[in-house]
Structure 1
């Protein structure tokens, strides 16, 4: 039973979030009967109990008129008055103090612009708000809180508003007709100019990126294709260039060594023949 109740609450919260734009933290406007019910049944803390059924963080509000009504009810509601004083005060624009029902009805208005969840035990008020689109209702039964499912009127209103958004308005239809008419006229003008074309038209065709008479639509005569530029090689796969100084020094060393070898090979020992020539002369 508890799982079914959570599914119903989750489904209702999803409906109001999708169709009427409710967002976290959810704002709950409490009247005196709802606050008194929370105190009598020891539902505390109230914000935690309400956040459990809504599935998100909440902020609790009340009004000056609700506080004044609890104060008039006497000593039996002093604890409820103290609890109500701890809540945030929702602004009501009327100068004179009204009864709680009239004050809350005025704040909600025709379409609940502030996206309030209304917490009340008043059955008449709940029936009245079922005929107002986008007003979720919270009430208590003993020590449990419930979120009332959306009424048939609210579901039908959400369906009608969705259908209206899916169709074009009269202004949009008129604008579409005007644009299509201008587009057809421009195409006809372009076809007639092609039939009566001469050398001037050929020169115009040679000019790149020439716009036609459809300047308002920003349409080019010919499509412009963007060519992909050639990309360089992957820098990580390219080998590092060898420095020229090293190569020059190495080549210089080799050349020096080569010269020495050439020189050493080119040198020949000269033998003197004086001794040989002088020996037979003496004999």
Structure 2
């Protein structure tokens, strides 16, 4: 798919999502001609190809009238019938099978409240829906899928809905008139009581005779004293060294003698044990 065509398709999908509330996963309603085109051109898997076209996950639907129409067409459309039977079935309240275009027109309606995309190869049916319904249309072109650009009717419908959202309704106008009248009456000191549904809580904070405020005030969590653990006193380091213990002159198992060397430093010498020599002389 070329980059320009892909950008144009994404722009079309964004138009319907923003203006008319289409959401993922997108629901695609397929008629018999669209299913037959997918099967004959071997565009499989269909849900993956359509999701790449729309830029999001999709769910494929059909109706019982479409299945009945494919069944009447005979063996040439047997593979298309099997593929259509694997799709989810959208509810159509028809006891007897109707032509596919009439059935799909009734399921979609003018406002398309179910937010369906429609896949069809019928050019006349697509032109009819572009003039009277809010339906994004898909169709196959050779081995690729395309999406029709929004029609003039759909763009005008989007602009009208935007104007309605920006303008006030009659109920909002009446509410505004009552609110302005209440504000003017309170500013003049008349204090006329309005209906309870229009009565707003007092905003001015003042003290009454009991010394209690009209509205609660919440205490702010202000910084308190410093953390005592972070302000611990430094430990004093003693400069005086510990007195060294005097070495013992001799020990029971072989004492040690302390001598002073030429430099005046104390030098320890180990006294040899004579037990080994005495034992050798006896033997």
TM-score, normalising length: structure 1: 0.72
1:235 shift after superposition: 4.5
Partner of 2:149: 149
Aligned residues: 219
Deviations 1:87-115 (A, max 9, x none): 11111122221111111001101201111
Which of the residues 219, 226, 229 maps onto 1:233?
226
Partner of 1:102: 102
1:132 shift after superposition: 3.5
Partner of 1:222: 205
Partner of 1:174: 174
Where in structure 2 are there 5+ consecutive unaligned residues?
192-197, 207-214, 236-283
SS in 2 for 1:92: coil
1:133 shift after superposition: 4.5
Partner of 1:44: 44
Deviations 1:38-93 (A, max 9, x none): 11111111111111111111111111000000000111110110111111111112
1:237 shift after superposition: 1.6
Partner of 2:112: 112
Structure 1 29/230 Cα, relative in aligned 2: closer, same or farther at 3 Å? closer
Distance 2:141 2:229 in 1: 73
TM-score, normalising length: structure 2: 0.72
In terms of fraction of residues, the more helix-rich structure is 1
1:120 shift after superposition: 0.2
Where in structure 1 are there 5+ consecutive unaligned residues?
192-214, 243-283
Partner of 2:186: 186
1:227 shift after superposition: 5.8
For the Cα contact (< 8 Å) 1:133–1:157, is it kept in 2? no
Distance 1:221 1:16 in 2: 47
Deviations 1:113-146 (A, max 9, x none): 1111000011121011112443100001111110
SS in 2 for 1:27: strand
